[in-house]
Amino acid sequence: MFEHCSLCFRVRMIAALKRLHLQETVVLDDDTDTMVGLVGRRVIPILVKDDGQPMLESMDMVKYIEGRGEAVLTGPERPEVAAWADTFPSRTAPLTMPRYPLLGLPEFATVAALDHYTLRKRKTVGDFVELRANTRTYLSELMPSLEALDRLIENPLAVNGTLSLDDIRVLPLLRSAAVVKGLRFPGKVRDYFESMMSRIGYPPLPAV
Ligand SMILES: N[C@@H](CCC(=O)N[C@@H](CS)C(=O)NCC(=O)O)C(=O)O
């Protein structure tokens, strides 16, 4: 996994909700060999099951972990929450991607790993300094999405009132967005984020 990766956090979140132990390994951003050695290509997250078989899709991993012991994701899903979760990452990327390398995360522990990430992402999202300099603009463009989520949240401990796969879709995205210092979540989003993070026992990532 990468510490900053929201898809990885889906897996950590369900394991925490189920009180199941996950042995976590953070790889350096430039450690493509480890990923290719496990599954033949560069992809994160990878879950290696107890029988040694690797899994590649984060939602499959969530369902696999959920299938062990008593179910915790017993509530209904709402298509409008999944639709919100589909569009949100493209709005946060210009804010979050140029900040992850500033957080002291283990996937960027060497200068080579840090530069590997910067070069890759610069090609897809643009120059990091320029993106950070435009923080105010990106934040104002993001607020309508957060306000839309505020209207969707039914309860601070479950987006649809009872825990469901929708919580696995939403919380990791908020954890990523919260790395932006100065981002103010609307009231229900803030209550949901704080209650859920404390329920699963994770502090937020640092914010810059
Ligand atoms: N469908 C996959 C998507 C995985 C995915 O897109 N992972 C990204 C990380 S967030 C990735 O592997 N990127 C390759 C890279 O960082 O080079 C899942 O949900 O597990």
pLDDT in tens, 182-192: 999 999 999 99
Judgement on whether residues 59 and 98 belong to the same structural domain of the protein = no
Ligand 1 neighbour 68 (Cβ under 6 A):
no
Q: Share the mean pLDDT of the chain.
A: 97
Residue nearest to atom 1 of ligand 1 (CA): 57
What pLDDT score does 19 carry? 96
Domain around 49: 6-66
Out of 13, 41, 44, mutate this one to test ligand 1's pocket (max ligand atoms within 8 Å of CB): namely 44
Out of 6, 10, 43, 88, mutate this one to test ligand 1's pocket (max ligand atoms within 8 Å of CB): namely 43
| Contact call for residues 34 and 82 (beta carbons, < 8 A) | no
Structure tokens belonging to residue 43: 């992809």
Three-state DSSP state, 66 = helix
Decide if 129 is inside a domain.
Answer: yes
Ligand 1 neighbour 7 (Cβ under 6 A):
yes
What pLDDT score does 57 carry? 97
What distance in Å separates the CA atoms of residue 192 and residue 68, rounded to the nearest whole number? 26
Ligand 1 neighbour 173 (Cβ under 6 A):
no
Residue nearest to atom 3 of ligand 1 (CA): 57
Ligand 1 neighbour 43 (Cβ under 6 A):
yes
Domain CATH number, residue 180: 1.20.1050.10
Judgement on whether residues 20 and 117 belong to the same structural domain of the protein = no
Ligand 1 neighbour 5 (Cβ under 6 A):
yes
Decide if 132 is inside a domain.
Answer: yes
Judgement on whether residues 148 and 171 belong to the same structural domain of the protein = yes
Kindly write down the DSSP assignment for every residue of 142-180, as one continuous string: HHHHHHHHHHH--BTTBTTSS--HHHHHHHHHHHHHTTS
Q: What is the pTM of this model?
A: 0.97
Residue 175 pLDDT class (50, 70, 90 cuts): very high
Decide if 47 is inside a domain.
Answer: yes
Q: Mean per-residue pLDDT for 177-186?
A: 97
Judgement on whether residues 112 and 172 belong to the same structural domain of the protein = yes
- Per 3-state DSSP, the chain is made up of helix, strand and coil in percentages (nearest 5) of 55, 5, 40
Q: Mean per-residue pLDDT for 130-143?
A: 98
Ligand 1 neighbour 57 (Cβ under 6 A):
yes
Judgement on whether residues 83 and 185 belong to the same structural domain of the protein = yes
What pLDDT score does 63 carry? 98
What pLDDT score does 111 carry? 98
Decide if 41 is inside a domain.
Answer: yes
Decide if 71 is inside a domain.
Answer: no
Residue 103 pLDDT class (50, 70, 90 cuts): very high
Judgement on whether residues 91 and 179 belong to the same structural domain of the protein = yes
Structure tokens belonging to residue 137: 């603009």
Q: Mean per-residue pLDDT for 140-162?
A: 98
Ligand 1 neighbour 44 (Cβ under 6 A):
yes
Judgement on whether residues 57 and 127 belong to the same structural domain of the protein = no
Judgement on whether residues 140 and 176 belong to the same structural domain of the protein = yes
Decide if 120 is inside a domain.
Answer: yes
| Contact call for residues 59 and 10 (beta carbons, < 8 A) | yes
What pLDDT score does 89 carry? 97
Dihedrals φ, ψ of 54, to 5°? -90, 145
Dihedrals φ, ψ of 46, to 5°? -125, 130
Judgement on whether residues 104 and 35 belong to the same structural domain of the protein = no
Boundary of a domain, candidates 37, 66, 95: 66
Q: Mean per-residue pLDDT for 157-175?
A: 98
What pLDDT score does 75 carry? 98
Judgement on whether residues 109 and 160 belong to the same structural domain of the protein = yes
Judgement on whether residues 89 and 192 belong to the same structural domain of the protein = yes
Judgement on whether residues 117 and 29 belong to the same structural domain of the protein = no
Domain CATH number, residue 49: 3.40.30.10
Decide if 72 is inside a domain.
Answer: no
Residue nearest to atom 12 of ligand 1 (CA): 43
What distance in Å separates the CA atoms of residue 30 and residue 6, rounded to the nearest whole number? 19
What is the 7 CA–ligand 1 centroid distance (Å)? 7
What pLDDT score does 97 carry? 98
What is the 45 CA–ligand 1 centroid distance (Å)? 7
What pLDDT score does 27 carry? 98
Long-range contacts from 67-71, C-beta under 8 angstroms, 24+ separation: 68/18, 68/20, 69/18, 69/20, 70/18
Listed residue (90, 79, 207, 86) closest to 142, CA to CA:
90
Decide if 43 is inside a domain.
Answer: yes
Dihedrals φ, ψ of 155, to 5°? -155, 145
Number of domains in the chain: 2
Give the number of other CB atoms < 10 A from CB of residue 55: 17
What pLDDT score does 9 carry? 98
Q: Mean per-residue pLDDT for 128-138?
A: 98
